[in-house]
A and B are shown apart, each in its own frame.
Chain A
Amino acid sequence: MKGNWNHTATLVLLAALAFSGNRLGGATAAVPIPPEGDLLEFLDGSLLHGGLTRMDPVAGLRWECPSALKPIDFQPAHIDSIHFARGGSAAMPANCRLRFFNGDDLFGSVASLDNDRLNFTTWFGRDLAVSRASVQSITFLSSNYTILYEGPSDTNGWIFGNHYPGSWSFRDGVFTSGLPGSLGRNFNLTASSTVEFDLAWSDSFELLVVIYGDAVDHLDFRNSSYLLEFTRDQVNLRHIASDAASLTRSLGSAPLPVPPGKNKVRITIQSNQAEGTIAVFADNVLVKRWKDENGFHASGGGLLFQQQIMTGAVIKLSNFKISQWDGRYDPEASIVATNTDTVRFINHDQAAGKITGINDGKVAFTVGKDLLQIPLPRVTQLNFATNPVPPIARHPWEVRAYFLSGGSLSFQLEKWGEKEVSGRSAIFGPIAFQPGQIRELEFNLDRAAPITPADGNRDFEGLDE
């Protein structure tokens, strides 16, 4: 009878459908609603949109979200970060960027330096004095340095040129693409520029980045611009000529120094119109500086990101910072770990010695037995001898704030109120600033240590559902 059963059976027990959450007895699943507000992320992958209303070590972190009837008070043990849904950039007069050995970095203006102290002004305080031993580097900004954009906090101004469903999408400050498509925006770049963004990938990928292009909704080979092709292993630069009869001109390629297993890198693209150079940095390390011997020729002011291949790779772009500047030298984007002090000059030369001070617009620099007084306009960066910092036990409320104006600062949080955040920094002592200056707050800072092969299982977190 089996044969008969096989060929004429009228009974189908559709267990398969009933197993599924997709078959709901004729009813439909709840309609999705868009997320709103700031984003609270946990170390276990949990996510909650809402808003931070207050925070202190006693009461915890108070989070209000539309899903909850009452505010929720969390302790910080398993919190990863808070991403604040605010964009733009804070106007800030600064002539340099200071990096510290503990990972902090700030924009500000240096007043003076001696063997013990650095005096400077930053957006949350004037005439600050910090230990020189905490300072890793001082990078002097180019003239008329202006931040044009920091974000994204939303998609306003961005153009999606999707070719496939599943191409570029936006959520919680990150553009994501799993299939070919373009993402562009006109930043009206008119001068030299620095384009920075975080690039993350899940697999071998190919990302095209057009700078100074006219078209921001598609790849356009009819107008002058520069095209960078990023893969996991290398970056290639081409010039696109406005002459349609011309082919794109390759300026060469360079290996992208990304260690195996790493899948995220901070990309910096420096375009120096006066010098006719384009430089790419990966995690502040120079990949290559190309010089267009024909001079810098580009007709537009936009950026276009094109996800190219269909291998299943997902790429993510986030934390954009677009700045513009004048002059013949680039802002230094690399950091040098060194056993001695070094000075880097506008012609890209570098000298090692002892930085003994900054006063009256000059760097006092001892090379051998010679003491040099170098005018600051000739200097792009001061790197200070590595000063090993002993590991310290983190307090549960030690956080790192990332600011709209750029830079970041770690501190032990004391109070987060509607109008003021206060805490204690290992470098600055007591600090206070407006919460609106912060775009991201990171908790449990030690968990951000690089993953070693021994604990590579972390890659599989979340797969064990």
Chain B
Amino acid sequence: MNNRISILWLIATLAFNAPTQPVQKTVFAKPASQSLLLFRNGDLLYGNLQSIDSHGTVLWQHPDTTKPIDFRRDSIARIDFPAPADSRAVSDNACRVLLANGNLLEGNLLSCNPQILTLQTVYAGNLNIPRPALQSLVFPPHLPGVFDGITGLDGWTQGAAVAAFVTETGHWTYRNSAFYTDKPASIARDLKLPDTARIQFDLAWKGGLNFAVALYTDSLQPLLLTAKDDAPNFGGFYSLRFLNSAFIDLWPVKKREPVRELGQLFLPSLNNKTHMRVDLRISKSQHKIALFLDDTPVKEWVDPEGFIGEGTGMRFVQNSTAPLKLSNLRVTQWDGVLANTVGETGEIIHDTVWLEHSPQATGSIESIANGKLTVKTAAGPVQFSLPDIRAIDFAHKPASPRQPQALSVHATFAHGGGLDFILESWLPGEITGHNDDLGTIQINPTAFTRLQFLAPETPTSEKAGK
């Protein structure tokens, strides 16, 4: 297994963080409770989904129409729903299950036998998952949070941005669990960043994204990198820079030392975005900073000269004269490191049980029941208590690609994870669909924040006879 490509991080912590705090939305023209319909041609329309029927008609309620609008499903790219309040129950058996096809389910582990794993969920009742469809399962580690959400300006230090080209400066304002600015401005705080940290925040912007984050800084005042040696004394830090809505780079910055570049990332797709989730996982001991955007790993930097961050604070610096919103800032300790992972094509032959305080056990899991897991190893059956288990790798074959059907969708759960299925109907109280692994499923619609329609190839205009 060690020959597998290792590009992914063990991120057990992220799977079990406290749920994202619901954002209190500022209401302008758009009520916060509205959903958003995004069309394949780039159009968008706020309103509320009434239903989707088996023929693919999407019924959409708009405040300026007396009757719901019938949209063609094949014209729609996705629907975003308002985030619901967290309704998950806390359980000792709470886990996340990754399927071989990439789907991720959250629930309570009820049982497992050689054929089926049963997951109890609040959104779809009990799900029976065939063993061959399983890839892995992880229980939540219980790591303490360091900083959990923006609650006001108290404790933060503001400063005027000093970047080149800045012609006017402003300040950050607080509103509804978020910071806003529309002019170059800096806001900083000693967040007591731990040595291994996960830092998450949401950005939303208009115009170009030209934004910087100082990591592990001991200074709460921004500085002009081109004149840093003239600035008041400061300890080393990392500057994560978003430039031109297309480039991202990471610079280690120390006084009286040349600025180094650890590598630039070119992401032209940023130019088409107006918001994103930034997720950093940092290990001082390994000199590593990994960047995830919208939950996709995009870059891992390793500082060959060692970790130079000398503080435990962060600065957020808007360098544009353009509106920017910073929200959902969360810092947690992070337990993960770069790890081996699933092979490119290889079949996983054995189950592996990862334990909190003992070496892992490899073999074939025979059962999970009554709080116990039994695995048949080369040395014979071994039994573990579930609280001692951290994670499980299941024997499985790589999933083969499936051709999307007319109503194939990918639904994103409000609290993480997602599920592919063929949508049969969407009604206010229940979604009915079919999943190749789970069979017919009935799901509470409020479980989802996004519904993405998959790959119908025929343009709408052709079907419309244009």
Contact = CB atoms under 8 A, between A and B. Distances in A.
B409 to A, nearest CB: 9
A335 to B, nearest CB: 28
Contact of B294 (A20, A65, A75, A233): A20
Contact of B410 (A21, A36, A44, A45): A21
B393 A11 contact: yes
A15 B11 CA distance: 7
Given A15-B14, A66-B464, A67-B39, A21 B275 contact: no
Given A11-B10, A20-B296, A460-B180, A25 B210 contact: no
Nearest to B99: A25
B265 to A, nearest CB: 14
A79 interface: yes
B104 A15 contact: yes
Interface residues of B, number: 130
Given A19-B295, A33-B459, A79-B64, A463 B323 contact: yes
B28 A33 contact: no
Given A35-B43, A202-B320, A24 B410 contact: yes
A199 interface: no
Nearest to B9: A12
Nearest to B283: A6
Given A49-B41, A202-B206, A69 B76 contact: no
A179 B246 contact: yes
Nearest to A201: B207
A198 B390 CA distance: 60
Nearest to B362: A10
> Which 3 pairs from chain A and chain B are nearest by CB?
A202-B207, A18-B104, A312-B208
Interface residues of A, number: 86
Given A33-B75, A463-B180, 7 more contacts: A11-B393, A19-B412, A31-B457, A36-B466, A312-B319, A313-B208, A463-B204
A311 B208 contact: yes
A274 interface: no
Interface in B80-119: 80, 96, 98-99, 101-104
Contacts of A309: 165
Interface string A48-83: 110000000000000001111110111111110000
B295 A36 contact: no
Interface stretch (B216-224, B229-237, B338-346): B338-346
Nearest to B74: A30
B26, B392, B418: residue with the most chain A Cβ atoms closer than 10 Å: B418
B162 interface: no
B269 to A, nearest CB: 9
A69 B322 contact: no
21 contacts: A5-B390, A11-B352, A12-B340, A14-B104, A18-B104, A19-B416, A20-B295, A20-B412, A21-B418, A25-B399, A25-B410, A29-B453, A33-B41, A33-B459, A66-B72, A72-B62, A74-B65, A178-B208, A204-B166, A457-B26, A463-B325
Given A8-B340, A10-B341, A457-B28, A16 B292 contact: yes
Given A13-B138, A18-B102, A67-B460, A311 B454 contact: no
B54 interface: no
A22 interface: yes
B136 A464 contact: no
A460 B325 CA distance: 8
Interface stretch (B29-37, B185-193, B301-309, B375-383): B29-37
A217 to B, nearest CB: 22
Contacts, number: 360
B71 A69 contact: yes
Interface of A: 1, 4-36, 42-49, 65-70, 72-79, 164-166, 171, 178-179, 201-204, 232-233, 260, 263, 309-314, 456-465
Contacts of B460: 33, 66-67
B244 interface: yes
A100 B96 CA distance: 67
A44 B412 contact: no
B387 to A, nearest CB: 15
B419 to A, nearest CB: 8
A74 B64 contact: yes
B75 A12 contact: no
B129 interface: no
Interface of A is mostly: loop
Nearest to B2: A8
Given A11-B138, A23-B418, A165-B268, A69 B70 contact: yes
A75 B64 contact: yes
Contacts of A77: 63-64
A43 B32 CA distance: 15
A70 B67 CA distance: 11
Given A33-B460, A75-B64, A465 B204 contact: yes
B11 A32 contact: no
A29 B77 contact: yes
B65 A75 contact: yes
B15 A26 contact: no
B167 A23 contact: no
Contact of A16 (B80, B279, B321): B279
Contacts of B322: 202-203
A42 B30 CA distance: 10
Given A463-B206, A463-B323, A47 B292 contact: no
Interface in B6-31: 8-12, 14-15, 23, 25-30
Given A202-B321, A203-B321, A462-B274, A16 B295 contact: yes
Contact of A12 (B28, B64, B136, B323): B136
A461 B268 contact: no
B27 to A, nearest CB: 8
B374 interface: no
B337 interface: yes
Nearest to B6: A12
